[in-house]
Amino acid sequence: MPYGYNGKTLRVNLTDETLRTEEPPENWYRTYLGGMGAVAYHLLKEVPRGVDPLSPGNIFIMAPGVISGAPFSGSGRNAVGGLSPLTGGFGEADAGGYWGAELKHAGFDQIIVEGASEKPTWLWIEDGKAEIRDASKLWGLEVAECQDRMREELGDPRAKTALIGPSGENLSRLACVINDLNHVAGRSGTGAIMGSKRLKGVAVRGHNPPELADADRLRELAGRLAKQVRENPSGLSVYGTGAAMDAGAQTGNLPTRNFRDGEFWEASEIDAIAVKNKYRVGMGTCYACAVACKKEVKLETPYKVEARYGGPEYETLGAFGSDCGVSDLAAICKANELCQRYGIDTIGAGTTIAFAMECYEEGIITPEMTGGIDLRFGNAEAMLQTLELMVKREGIGDLLTEGTKRTAEKLGPDAERFAVHVKGQEFPMHEPRLKRALGLGYALSPTGADHQHNVHDTGLRGRAMERLRAFGVLEPVALESLGGEKVRIYKYVSEMRILTNCLAICNFVPWDYNQYVELLNAVTGWDTTLYELAKVAQRTLALAKIINLRSGFTAADDWLPPRMFTPQTSGALSETAVIPEELRHAIDLYYEMMGWDPQGVPRLGTLHELGIAWAEQYLPPASADRLVI
C-alpha cells in the first residue's frame, strides 16, 4: 500500500460509457508527481497530432498530486488539462478549494475522461466507486444551482463539485472549471473540453485519506507553517490578492486600458483594501490551509452579488477594472460573480472586453456590431452587458467569447496590433515592460501568457533571492535586466512554479523550496531531493513543449505581442518597452539552458537525461521557422 497516494487512475470513456481503473507503478508517480506533470504525460501519449480540442479525440484530465489531500496548508489543489480549446496546444489550469483533496480521499489520484457523450452527463465518485449519471436536468444550470441539485440528488450536502457553467456548455474558448463554486481553474479554456464531452461536472466524496508515511513529521511541518502564518499574517491573509494595486499603478505594473496606458488614478478604489472596506463579508480558504486568502463579497445594490461565488482576485480586479478603465468596484464584483456563475475565465473575459473596447474606440468594432452598447473604456455597464453576451454567446459576445486572438483575426490586422496574448492566451495583470523576466515567461510558458508559470521580477528581493541560493544563485540581479543572470533566475523560479503545479500545491503558502522535499518525503516515505524535483519540472516542460510543437507551434510563437515593444502612453513606462533583440537573446539562452535546440525542440540528450526517451517519437522534424530579429 503506497503512502500519500492511492495508486489508482479512474479512466472514463464517455463514448461507450465505460469506467476503468488503472494502477500506474510507483515510479510513474515519482517521475511525474501528478498535476501538471500528469497532464503533460497523458496528453502527449494519448492525443495524436491533428485532434480538434473540442472533438471526442481530446482527453480531459483532472489531477491532484501525490501529496494532495494530506493535512498541510496548500494541499487542496488539482490541475485540469487537455488540448487547449484556446491555444490549440498544451492546456492546463489549476484550482484550489476542496475538490482535489476530496478526490484523493475518495480513492483516486486522477481522472482521465475520453470520448464524448451524446447526452449531458456527470460523474459521481465516492470511496473508490464511480458512476456516470444523467445530467439532462442539470444542463444549462448556473454553477451554484447545479451544485445544489447534485447534492440534492445525492442526498449528500457535503459532496464536492468541479463544474462547468453555461459558458463551458456553449464551448466558449474562455470557459473554465469551477471547484466548490469559487475556486477556479481559469486558463486554457478547459471548461470547453468538458462542454464538448457533455460532461457537466464531477462530484466526489471520500472518507479515506491515503495513509501518511511519517504523520508526526508532517504534523510538525504543517504546524510550524501554520504558526508562522498566524504569527506573521501576510497581506494575503489580511486582504487576499490585490492589496498593492496603487503601487502597481505608479510603477506602470497595473495593466490599464488594454495595456495601452500607464496610469490609473483610481487604483485605490478597486484594490483589495477597497474590497475589504466596502463589500467583503468574509474570507474563505482551501482544504487544510492556514493562509485563508479567498475573499467573499456580498452586494445587494447596485448589483446583487452572491457571497457563495467568492470575491474578485487581483487578476479580476485588474482585468475588469483598470484594464477596462473601470473604477466601479461594484461592477467589478458583479463581473467576477457572473464569471463564476457562468464558468468563464475572469482574465480571458476581462481582457478580451478591454481589447474590444480599444477596437470600439478605434472604430474597428462599431455600435452596430455591439448592438448599440457604447463599449468605451470605463463604461462599467457596457462591460457587464458585453460579458453577459459572451457567457451566453449572443450578439458580439458570440465572437468575443472565442478569445482575443480569434476576435482579432476576424477583425483584421488593424486590431491585431493591440491584441495582447501569447499563443492565443490573454495576458494576466502583470507588465512585461516592467518585469522583463515575466515577459520572457509569457513568451515561453507552454500555455501561453500565464502568471502561474512565472517569475515576478519585482519580488526578487530578500527572501525570494535567499531561496534561490538553493540553486547556486548567490548575487542579486537588477530588475530591468533581461541578461543571462536574469534568464537563469527565471529558469529556476519558473521550474519551481511548474513543480508546485505538478505537486498541485499552492504558491501562496510560504513553503520553502526545500520544504517541498520535506513534505513529499513525509507524506510518501520517499527519499527525494530538490534535484529530483527540479528534474520533474524540466521533464514536464519538455513534454509540454513537444505537445506544442506537435500542435503546430514553432519557436516563432515563443514571442510577445507587438504592444510589448512600444511604451505605455503615460506614466512610469512611457519611455521604455521590451527590446526585441534582448528578448531574442534571452530566449536563445533559455533554450540552451533547457537543453533545447535553437528551434526550441528538446534535444535527444535532454530527453534521455530526463528519463523520457520514450518521447523521442513525438519530436517534430527539424524546422527553420524561427523569429529572427
CA dihedral 173, 174, 175, 177 (to 10 degrees): 120
Beta-carbon contacts of residue 454 (< 8 Å; ≥ 6 apart) = 430, 437, 438, 441, 442, 445, 493, 494, 497
- 484 lies in the site for a second copy, by CB under 8 A: yes
Q: Is the torsion defined by CA of 166, 170, 173, 177 positive or negative?
A: positive
Measured from the CB of residue 490, what is the shortest distance to a second copy in angstroms? 11
- 154 lies in the site for a second copy, by CB under 8 A: no
Measured from the CB of residue 28, what is the shortest distance to a second copy in angstroms? 9
Q: Which stretch binds a second copy (CB under 8 A): 273-281, 405-413, 453-461, 609-617?
A: 609-617
User: H/E/C letters for each residue in 412-458?
Assistant: CHHHHCCCCEECCEECCCCCCCCCHHHHHHHHHCCCCCCHHHCCCHH
- 606 lies in the site for a second copy, by CB under 8 A: yes
- 628 lies in the site for a second copy, by CB under 8 A: no
Separation of alpha carbons 566 and 260, rounded Å: 9
- 389 lies in the site for a second copy, by CB under 8 A: no
- Applying CB under 8 A, among 281, 556, 613, 629 the residue interacting with a second copy is 613
Judged by beta carbon, residue 372 or residue 605, the one nearer a second copy is 605
Q: In the window 11-70, what residues touch a second copy (CB under 8 A)? A: 27, 30-31
* 125 close to 21: Cβ distance less than 8 angstroms: no
Judged by beta carbon, residue 490 or residue 553, the one nearer a second copy is 490
* 62 close to 162: Cβ distance less than 8 angstroms: yes
- Applying CB under 8 A, among 224, 611, 625, 629 the residue interacting with a second copy is 611
Lookup result for grid cell 523576466: 437
Ordered DSSP codes for 35-83: HHHHHHHHHHHHS-TT--TTSTTS-EEEE-BTTTTSSSTT---EEEEEE
> What are φ and ψ of residue 109, in 5° steps?
-100, -25
Measured from the CB of residue 43, what is the shortest distance to a second copy in angstroms? 21
Judged by beta carbon, residue 16 or residue 527, the one nearer a second copy is 527
- Applying CB under 8 A, among 203, 375, 534, 564 the residue interacting with a second copy is 534
- 529 lies in the site for a second copy, by CB under 8 A: yes
Judged by beta carbon, residue 363 or residue 462, the one nearer a second copy is 462
> What are φ and ψ of residue 261, in 5° steps?
-100, 165
Separation of alpha carbons 177 and 157, rounded Å: 20
Measured from the CB of residue 530, what is the shortest distance to a second copy in angstroms? 5
Separation of alpha carbons 205 and 159, rounded Å: 5
- 514 lies in the site for a second copy, by CB under 8 A: yes
- 590 lies in the site for a second copy, by CB under 8 A: yes
Judged by beta carbon, residue 237 or residue 515, the one nearer a second copy is 515
Ordered DSSP codes for 241-284: S-TTHHHHHHHT-S-BTTTTBS--TTGGGSSHHHHHHHTEEEEE
Q: In the window 97-116, what residues touch a second copy (CB under 8 A)? A: none
- 527 lies in the site for a second copy, by CB under 8 A: yes
Judged by beta carbon, residue 514 or residue 566, the one nearer a second copy is 514
- 536 lies in the site for a second copy, by CB under 8 A: yes
Separation of alpha carbons 289 and 346, rounded Å: 24
Judged by beta carbon, residue 236 or residue 482, the one nearer a second copy is 482
Q: In the window 419-478, what residues touch a second copy (CB under 8 A)? A: 469-475
Which positions lie near a second copy, rule CB under 8 A?
27, 30-31, 469-475, 484-485, 487-488, 491, 513-514, 526-532, 534-536, 588-593, 595, 603-611, 613
